[in-house]
Structure 1
Amino acid sequence: MESKSFQLILLILFTQLFCFTCIEYHFVSSAGTSNVGTCIENEKKALLKLKENLTDSSGRLSSWIDQENCCQWHGVTCDNKTGSVVKLDLRNQLSRNNGLGGEINPSLLELKKLRYLDLSMNNFGGVKVPEFIGRLKELRYLNLSGASFSGSVSSFLGNLSNLQVLDLSFYSEKPPENDLEWLRGLSFLEHLNLGGSDLSKVADSWLHTINNHSRSLLELRLPQCQLLKLPSSFPSLRLSSLLLSSLEYLDVSSNYGIKGPLKKSLGRLCNLKTLILSYNSISGDITDFVDALSECQSNSLEALDLNFNELSGNLPATLGQLKKLKILQLRFNSLTGTIPESIGGLSSLETFYLTSNKMSGNLTPNIGQLTSLVSLDISDNMWEGILTEAHLLNLSNLQEFSVGMTLGKNITLTFNISRNWTPSFKLTFLTIQSCQLGPEFPHWLKDQNELTSLIFNTAGISDAVPDWFEDLDLKLDNLDMAYNLSGNVPDKFQFNFLANVDLSSNLFEVPLPLWSSNITSLYLRDNLFSGPIPVNICEALPNLTDLDISHNNLNGAIPLCMGDMNQLTTLALDNNQLIGQIPDFWGKLPYLYLLDMSENRLSGQIPGSLGSLAYLRFLRLSGNNLSGEMPSSLRNCMRMISIDLSNNQLSGLIPSWLGETMRSLLILSVRNNRFSGPIPLKVCSLSGLHILDLSENNLSGSIPSCVGNLEGFKDELTSAEASQYQGKLKLEAKGRILYYDTILYLVNSIDLSSNSLSGEIPVEITSLSKLGTLNLSGNHLTGTIPTDIGNLGWIETLDLSKNQLSGPIPPSLTTLDFLTHLNLSYNNLSGRIPTSTEFQTKDDPTIFQGNDALCGPPLQQCSNGGTTISDGGMDDDGETDDEDKLEKIWFFAFAGLGYLVGFWTRVSNNFGGVKVPEFIGRLKELRSLNLSGASSSGSVSSFLGYLSNLQVLDLSFYSDLPTEKDLEWIKGLSSPAPLLLAGPLRT
């Protein structure tokens, strides 16, 4: 996050530096200035004293020597009549390491006629801005931006009454706490930049101050001024209060505290040329604001940036009246509707970004009238209909075009462009994904020989790459044609340095291609590549940082030369037919972050050099034939998040050091190996664990009571933790192996089944309130089921079968609202099965069979007499295979869609009467749920009330509508409108 913030600051600084350079002509080209006059002797001495106190690693002041005319020195400009120094431009245009440092000598005061002072982008190491700058009364231009000073300037800069341009953006290493009252003295100020200052303490007065004391302002920049820290008495910034009728440039981006709608009064700033309000919390419709702009007699707006806000509603038709608009950026909002027909009137528009909104409908062909358009990005919206050459016909200046979805959801937009059409533009950047571009490879690309980035991900192309495409002789930075093509891979692709290539999930055959040493990221997973990994891969692709060749038909051994690919951060070789031992070269790959060699035919021991991978976070070696012990050197991988060594022949003890050094571990799976001995107590130190699978080993001893310390099973994942879950895992649920991928971060599971564990179930395990699966079956556990088992409020799967548990079934078990899979069979339980409305729905007798002293429904009679109850063709958990498959569909439909695709779910299918699964009540982020006509059964009243964020619920013609009494659950929905319950309620 810090890195991204620093990059954003740099971007703002360089952008502002460029723009402020544009106004220098006021001070540089004025009559009477020159760099060839004769300087005044005492001013030369003053400059030499200034140099003495500065450090100059780049040698920019090397021309400052006593024997030379100071008017000819670098950065110095003199008046050609008097010889006085009027301009001192010492800004750093090189890297930060080459900036000037040290201190500013007061000798600067000898420059009595100095009008221009620029110390920006240097590195003064946190020294305070010298107060004597406030005595340079002739200054018109002062730029201290990005110079790494410190301290407030409010006590002295107000004395510079002639100042016209002031840039203090990010001038301090720490945001200074400045008030704005000092602006009173700057009555001629025209350009003001306070970006990065801390204005949180004046959040309720800054507009008033600027309005009253800076009426001459043409340009106002206040990005990242911490205006998000607003006092409760001033909940939102009223930008509509601005009275600066002369203002031409306004930037209050990246403050986040600016909220509420764009008022019509703001649109009446008719002289505005640039308005930047991105990265705030502005909401509502923009119609009034745009209408006001369009009503200006002489509308001047050229750039409007509203990216990353909370805008909603449709784009107004009056948008087409902003004739001078060149840049329109509306990315990452919640705008709806379609692009208005009037858009064609924006003949000056060069940049149009609508990325990541909620827009839909047909694209207007009037887009094709934007003859000045250079960059068009309308991706991540739900466009429909047909896109023809009419949409692109007159875009002769177009260089960048993006459409489709990047989040894995297809849209119905279809390209229907004639094979003979030749576009008038020459694209450099083209992205078309998750819509229908194919089935043929697009012929209109035949003349697009200037492309550097080409993305056709999931574009419905079933064709092979044509020969003419290779003949374009493209030099690409980015190539993504995943989920499309077939045939052979072209062998003539050329790539620029640091290129990214993704040809995953196609039907490419033949050996792996090795195109260019310039490639840094290569994704070829899920194809039909065969043969061995080329032994010269390290020589052909020496700059690789990411290599994914998983899910192919590769065979042979892992080439030893891969140990020389020392820039690798991710290496995925899984799901191939690789053989031999894992090479012992990992000490030469210091940056490796993810290593996946699972599901191959590798044998031998895990090499000890894996322990040298200090940055390794994901290690997956499952599904091989590995043997021996877990190497102790792995204890050095202290950043590890996920370890999967399941389905091998590993033996020995589960090491204690796992809990000593891998404190960030979220997933530990060693299922189906030959580990023996006790569960180490140190495992309980892995407080972040969300998946612990030690099943199908030879573990003995008791379950440690410290299992209650596993805090990860008590709390929901934070968004930061969830983002760290990558890849896939096989886990047991419902008595069978399930393959988890995109929803892995939703799983909270402990599986200790099929071992030789003994003793009682520790009562501390009942404190793991967010545990979803607990499987202790197939051990030698004794004692009773803990009385407080009902505290496992999120449990869905509970399997305690095939142990030696005794005593009654605790009544608290009947309170588990989300429990859908229960197996208590083959124990020594006794007494009557508890009865409750919820528990009686578990009417499968096989759940309880093998407990001779257990009786009551759903058992027909106590089984003391040896009566055998038929399972009626059911599986181990009492469901038919068809019901099982349907419930899986439910799980992936809701867990996958509900969490990964916009938190919106609709199910209008025929599920054959299977019950709606109760875990839907755990999809806390759901905003819209549609079960209309879904042919499912069962009441939903016991769990839908947990969906507190639900805004739209449609149960119309759902086959088992709730009863009138059941409607109490609606009280749990904080915003249940609109609510559809079409069809008669049951009484």
Structure 2
Amino acid sequence: MFSNSMYLLLVTVIILLFTLRCTCTTGTGLLSPKLGNGTMIVKCIEKERLALLKLKEELVDEHGRLSSWRADEQYKDCCLWYGIQCDNATGHVTVLDLHGSSGNNKSLSGKISPSLLELEDLEYLDLSFNDFSFKQVPEFIGSLSKLTHLNFASASFSGLISEAHLLNLSRLQVLNLSFNSNLTLDLGNDWIPPFQLDTIALARVKMGSPFPGWLQSQRNFSYIDMSYAGISDTIPIWFWDTSPRMEFLNLSYNHIYGVLPDLSSKFASHPRIDLSSNDLSGELPSFPRDVKFLDLSKNKFRGSIYSFCNNAGYIPYLDLSNNFLSGELANCLVDGIYGLFYFNLANNNFSGNISIACERNRMLQALHLRNNYFTGEIPTALINCQILKVIDLGGNKLSGKIPDWITGVSFPQLVVLSLRSNEFHGTLPSVLCSLTSIQILDLSLNNISGPIPKCLNNLTALTVEGSSNATIPIMYDGGPDITPGKGLILRDTQFSPASAFLIWKGLVSEYRNSLGLVKMIDLSSNYLDGEIPEQVTSLKGLIGLNLSSNNLVGSIPTNLYQLRLLNFLDLSHNHLSGSIPSTLSELSHLGVLNLSYNNLSGRIPSKGHSLTFDNSSYLGNSQLCGLPLTLLCPGDTNTSTGGDEDGMNDHEPLDELFNEGFYISMALGFMFGFWGLIGSLVLNNTFRHKFFKFISKFEDWLYVKLALGKARLHR
């Protein structure tokens, strides 16, 4: 039961709520209260409102992001404008957040007006992800003495950031200048900044060769990114003892050399560490046992990882690829490292059997062990890592048969399976056809025999043209990150694009950001026999098919023309017979065709896209005839008459020694040879359709011009 006093208090509150009316705007969600007579209470300081309007005048806002910044009476309160926040007590503008977004084209441009200096209480300034056309960062920014947060990331600034820009920013905590092409931080090595930063984000900002000495004065930072900074030096010992709060460190893509000390106690909890693509050497040091992300790839580390594994613990993301590490894994993934989502030891000198405990690594999604010296069979324990998306064991000395437990039931999300260049033998198990998510199947350069399974049409992902995702995301346990407008945050989940190395048109290429668009089967350099199954023509999503260097017989399937996206087709070095289907000329996207060294016969198709390939596509087939080979087909006549019917002498003009087919083959062959080189990189459907439409028109034009020229020549 309420007492009388409590009842009266409740009634009073209700009356006050009905009396005090507020209006909301969509700009920042702030409330602007009205008096009882409807008059709006304006918090905005007039001087600051005029300064913001002046700032708008010098910015280019093609998409109307600043449409609420107006001089009209009803828009008088600038505290309600887009990107503006004011102090509730004083009305002064404290936040100016005009950040754009990565990937969209709604950026602001123009220049920054000195009127910004009128915002004397400004604490938060974010102009990231806009386009300032490589203008110099205004020096007057350094006069905004109350700034705590300065974010100019990806804003297309250039020139120098000198001590004068930062001299008066004594309250600054977040400095983010990342991703401004080839911008230079020109600070003296003995300079002592007036601030203590929490976030130091300087990725792709030029900093000079010496390791920046001014960092020695920074004692409180938790996030530091100086990747792609042009540093060519060792990491000073003092750096590791600078800040006990450090939980994110990225010094990748520099020229940092030397040996790392014991780092097990140099970070805060759950750090992310990226020291990849440098010249670091020596043995692997100890790191914190709870590191969430560790990338030491593309360095010169040597020796065993035995001690590293003994001192390691929960590491969701671990990349030690492209070093000189050696020895056996032993129990590294059984009793040592656990909690893996991403594991990469590729391009090292590891040997022995592969041992892994999926009970401790059930979230493993990417396993890269290619180009080492691993022996033995694929470990059966792998069957328990059932959310794997990438298995790359290529370039080792693994043996045995392809396991019949590699199925779609065991690995329903498997997208990439590469076992190339090993010593596997036996036949291809038909259960491989149950890998319904597979997009890249590379079993080349082994000792596999027997027929190609006829169930290929069950590879569902390969039967669908195109792909909705350019990348194949690998999820892993998160850590600190910086996002536009929010500064440093902690994520529970991070995503990184999966990668795979493929032999594409004779070149070894790494696919990462476009891996999701690549669909291919490579069974080359084995001992496969029998015919090419007709079911392969159901794989309409294929852009690459390599069955070369086997013992295949029979004819080329006439329905291959159904693989409309096919860009690379290699059936060379087999025992295929019969004629070349004329329908192959309908594969308008085909950039590379190799049918050489078979038993093919008859006339080479001489229309459409078939004219774009040179004789190397057909060599070693003694019964083939017609252009571009020199062997004439029955009924063909030599274009040289040797007569003088038209009053010409015995030596006809050079143009008459070649027919129109030669010119078409030469011109279009050159163009499509070039397309064959870049085709695997340009995977945009719209671009391809426009390109080949242009080529088709060019072909028609060339035929007409050659016919007219020949007619004039014979007059």
- Fold in common (TM above 0.5): yes
Contact 1:217 1:247 in 2 (8 A): yes
- 1:669 pairs with 2:418: yes
Residue of structure 2 in register with 1:595 after alignment: 343
Going from structure 1 to structure 2, the CA distance change for 1:808 and 1:471 (only over 3 Å counts) comes to: closer
Say if 2:66 and 2:82, in contact at 8 Å, map to a contact too: no
Does the aligned pair in 1 maintain the 2:472–2:497 contact within 8 Å? Answer: no
Matched, 1:511 2:511: no
- 2-side partners of 1:776 and 1:550: how far apart? 30
SS in structure 2 of the partner of residue 627 of structure 1:
strand
Deviation at 1:696, TM superposition (A): 2.1
Give 2:266's aligned residue: 494
Please say if residues 800 and 824 of structure 1, whose CA atoms lie closer than 8 Å, have aligned partners that are also in contact.
Answer: yes
- Mark the CA change 1:921 to 1:694 in structure 2 (over 3 Å): closer, same or farther: closer
2:472 equivalent in structure 1: 722
Letter in 1 for 2:22: L
Q: Does 1:217 align with 2:22?
A: yes
Once residues 187 and 368 of structure 2 are traced to their aligned partners in structure 1, the CA distance between those partners, rounded to angstroms, is 46
Change (3 A) 1:449 1:736: closer
> What residue in structure 1 maps to residue 97 of structure 2?
329
Amino acid at match of 1:373: L
Q: 1:729 to 1:711 in 2, by over 3 A?
A: same
Structure 2 CA distance for partners of 1:457 and 1:943, relative to 1, 3 Å = farther
What's the offset of the Cα at 1:388? 1.7
Aligned equivalent of 1:643? 391
> Aligned match of 1:377 in 124, 138, 151?
151
SS for the counterpart of 1:495 is coil
Aligned partners of 2:23, 2:347: CA distance in 1, in Å? 65
Structure 2 contact 556–580 (Cα < 8 Å) conserved: yes
1:729/1:470 CA distance change after superposition, 3 Å: closer
* 1:525 has 2:306 as partner: no
CA contact (8 A) 1:323 1:345 kept: no
Q: Give the conservation status (yes or no) of the 8 Å contact 1:687–1:710.
A: yes
For 2:437, the aligned partner's letter is G
Residues 854 and 862 in structure 1, CA contact (< 8 A), matched pair in contact too:
no
Q: Give the TM-score normalised by structure 1.
A: 0.56
Residue 653, structure 1, aligned to residue 401, structure 2 = yes
Corresponding residue for residue 65 of structure 2? 286
The change in CA–CA distance for 1:491 and 1:380 in structure 2 (over 3 A counts) is: same
- The residue type equivalent to 1:411 in the other structure is S
Q: State the SS of the aligned residue for 1:657.
A: coil
Counterpart in the other structure of 2:705: none
Cα 1:345–1:850 change in 2 (3 A) is same
Structure 1 385/420 Cα, relative in aligned 2: closer, same or farther at 3 Å? same
| Contact map agreement 2:303 2:327 (CA 8 A) in 1 | no
Q: Does 1:431 align with 2:209?
A: no
CA change 1:507–1:598 in 2 (3 A) is: closer
Check the 8 A contact 2:123/2:146 in 1, yes or no: yes
**In the alignment, structure 1 residue 586 sits paired with structure 2 residue 334:** yes
Matched position secondary structure for 1:777:
coil
For this pair of structures, how many residues does the alignment match?
612
Q: Which 5+ residue runs of structure 1 have no aligned equivalent? A: 1-41, 44-81, 87-111, 116-137, 141-160, 165-186, 191-215, 221-238, 249-267, 274-281, 308-321, 554-575, 865-886, 892-910, 930-938, 947-960, 967-987
For residue 921 of structure 1, report the CA deviation from its aligned partner: 5.8
Aligned partners of 1:642, 1:684: CA distance in 2, in Å? 17
Mapping for residues 531-930 of structure 1, pairs under 5 Å: 531-533=303-305, 535=307, 538-539=310-311, 542=313, 544-553=315-324, 576=325, 578-580=326-328, 582-583=330-331, 586=334, 591-607=339-355, 609-610=357-358, 613-659=361-407, 660-713=409-462, 714-719=464-469, 722-724=472-474, 726-843=497-614, 845-861=615-631, 917-918=678-679, 922-924=683-685
Paired with 1:468 and 1:859, the residues of 2 have a C-alpha distance of 70
Q: Percent identity?
A: 32
- Contact residue 470 and residue 516 of structure 2 kept, 8 A: no
1:386 equivalent to 2:154? Answer: no
Letter in 2 for 1:522: L
> CA separation in 1, counterparts of 2:425 and 2:289?
47
Q: 1-side partners of 2:506 and 2:124: how far apart?
A: 56
Contact between 1:339 and 1:364, CA under 8 Å: does it hold in 2?
no
Q: Which residue of the other structure, out of 293, 296, 301, is the alignment partner of 2:79?
A: 301
Structure 2 residue aligned with 1:479:
249
Q: CA deviation at 1:162?
A: 4.1
Alpha-carbon distance in structure 2 between the residues aligned to 1:811 and 1:163 = 86
CA distance in 2, matches of 1:508, 1:584: 23
Other-structure match for 1:455 = 225
Distance change in 2, residues 1:619/1:454 (3 Å): closer
Deviation, structure 1 residue 828: 1.5
1:729-788 CA distance string (max 9 Å, x none)? 332222454444454333211011122222221222122222111011122222211112
Give the Cα–Cα distance (whole angstroms) in 1 for the partners of residues 555 and 459 of structure 2.
Answer: 22
Contact in 2 for aligned 1:302/1:324 (Cα 8 Å): no
Query: Which residue of structure 2 aligns with residue 441 of structure 1?
Result: 211
Using the alignment, how far apart are the partners of 1:945 and 1:336 within structure 2? 39
Relative to structure 1, the CA distance from residue 610 to residue 467 in structure 2 (aligned partners, 3 Å threshold; closer, same or farther) is: closer
Asked if the contact 1:302–1:325 (Cα under 8 Å) also holds between the matched residues in 2, the reply is: no
Aligned equivalent of 1:99: none
Report the secondary structure of 1:718's partner residue: coil
Matches within 5 A, 1:210-359: 216-217=21-22, 246=33, 284-292=63-71, 299=77, 301=79, 304-305=82-83, 324-333=92-101, 334-341=106-113, 342-359=115-132
**Change over 3 Å in CA distance of 1:723–1:834 after alignment to 2:** same
2:435 corresponds to which letter in structure 1?
L
Any idea what the Cα deviations from partners look like across 1:623-656, whole Å, max 9, x if unmatched? 2333333333332222111112222333333223
Post-superposition offset of 1:607: 3.4
Q: Check the 8 A contact 2:469/2:516 in 1, yes or no.
A: no
Quick one: distance in 2 between partners of 1:944 and 1:394? 59
Could you tell me whether the CA contact under 8 Å between 2:323 and 2:347 is conserved in 1?
no
Conservation of the 8 A alpha-carbon contact between 1:439 and 1:462:
yes
Residue 665 of structure 1 aligns to a residue whose secondary structure is coil
Letter in 2 for 1:380: S
* Matches for 1:173-192 after TM superposition, within 5 Å: 187-188=18-19
CA contact (8 A) 2:573 2:598 kept: yes
Alignment deviations for residues 836-856 of structure 1 (CA, whole Å, 9 cap, x no partner): 24321212x121112121110
Q: State how far apart, in whole Å, the 2-side matches of 1:297 and 1:305 are.
A: 14
Which whole-Å CA distance do the structure 2 matches of 1:298 and 1:674 have between them?
77
Query: 1: CA distance between counterparts of 2:357 and 2:292?
Result: 24
Distance 1:784 1:162, change over 3 A: farther
Question: After superposition, what is the alpha-carbon deviation per residue over 1:37-56, rounded to whole angstroms, capped at 9, x for unaligned?
Answer: xxxxx55xxxxxxxxxxxxx
CA separation of 1:447/1:648 partners in 2, compared to 1, >3 Å: closer, same or farther? closer
d(CA) in 2 for partners of 1:612, 1:451: 33
Deviations 1:832-886 (A, max 9, x none): 111124321212x12111212111000011599xxxxxxxxxxxxxxxxxxxxxx
**CA contact 1:303–1:325 (8 Å) conserved in 2:** no
1:942 is aligned to: 692
| CA RMSD, 1 decimal | 4.0
Report the residue type matching 1:695 in the other structure: S
Q: Which has the higher contact order (CA 8 A, sep 6+)?
A: 2
- What CA deviation, in whole Å up to 9, does each residue of 1:349-401 have, x standing for no partner? 11112233344322122211212111011112222122222322322221111
Offset at residue 515 of structure 1 (A): 5.8
Matching of residue 360 in structure 1 with residue 165 in structure 2 = no
Contact 2:301 2:323 (8 Å CA) reproduced: yes
Q: Distance in 2 between matches of 1:611 and 1:727?
A: 23
Separation (CA, whole Å) in 2 of partners of 1:518 and 1:589: 10
CA contact (8 A) 1:703 1:761 kept: yes
- Structure-1 separation of matches of 2:414 and 2:278: 34
SS of structure 1 residue aligned to 2:120:
coil
Q: Name the aligned partner's letter for residue 602 of structure 2.
A: G
Structure 2: which amino acid aligns with 1:655?
P
Instruction: Say if 1:247 and 1:272, in contact at 8 Å, map to a contact too.
Output: no
